[in-house]
Amino acid sequence: MHFAWEAFLLRYRPLAAVLARNLTGRPAEAEDVVQEAVLALLRAHRGDGERFESAQHARNYLLRTVRNLAARAGGERHRLSRLEDEPEARAGDDRAATEVRERHVRLAGLLRELAPEEAELVARRFLRGETLAQVSTTTGIAISTLHSRERAVLRRLRASMERMERGSSA
């Protein structure tokens, strides 16, 4: 399908912006989400324009991408706030510093036990900060597959960390 991109964006970008603002609660972050979503739509259309039978399909893709990116941004804020909840290592507070070091050692051990493809996915996502779309582009693995793999790995890591922490506090 051929698009009149200017007309499309004039019509649907404001809707995407409102959705992003409602989901993120932060205007600057919402604008970033919308820009990323528009770029994702352009890349998807360039890669396989036939997948969009109509402007409504493209609109749905754009809005779904906004929702997913906003959710991911919220998750990143949540992960960062969880790190802030770590016990602070204040001067003379060796116990808190020891707790943090022990958690990091446990997590490092679990990461070393991952299968090579799982470790690569975790490294690309959390060390290099790549999006699933970027990983998909370079590996040729569908984003939905990568998303499922990532969720499964993170679920296992969390469960293992919780088991280890319960075991060490017993």
Q: Residues 117-156: pLDDT tens digits?
A: 999 998 888 888 888 888 889 999 998 899 899 999 999 9
Q: What is the pLDDT of residue 84?
A: 44
State how far the Cα of 33 lies from the Cα of 41, in Å rounded to an integer: 12
Q: What is the pLDDT of residue 82?
A: 47
Q: What is the pLDDT of residue 88?
A: 53
Cα–Cα distances (Å) from 109 to 82, 98, 138, 160, in that order, read 20, 16, 28, 11
Q: What is the pLDDT of residue 133?
A: 86
Please, what sign has the CA dihedral across residues 79, 128, 150, 38? Answer: positive
State how far the Cα of 56 lies from the Cα of 119, in Å rounded to an integer: 38
Q: Residues 108-120: pLDDT tens digits?
A: 889 899 999 999 9
Q: Residues 15-47: pLDDT tens digits?
A: 898 888 888 887 778 888 899 999 988 888 888
Q: Among 54-58, 103-107, 149-153, which range has the highest average pLDDT?
A: 149-153
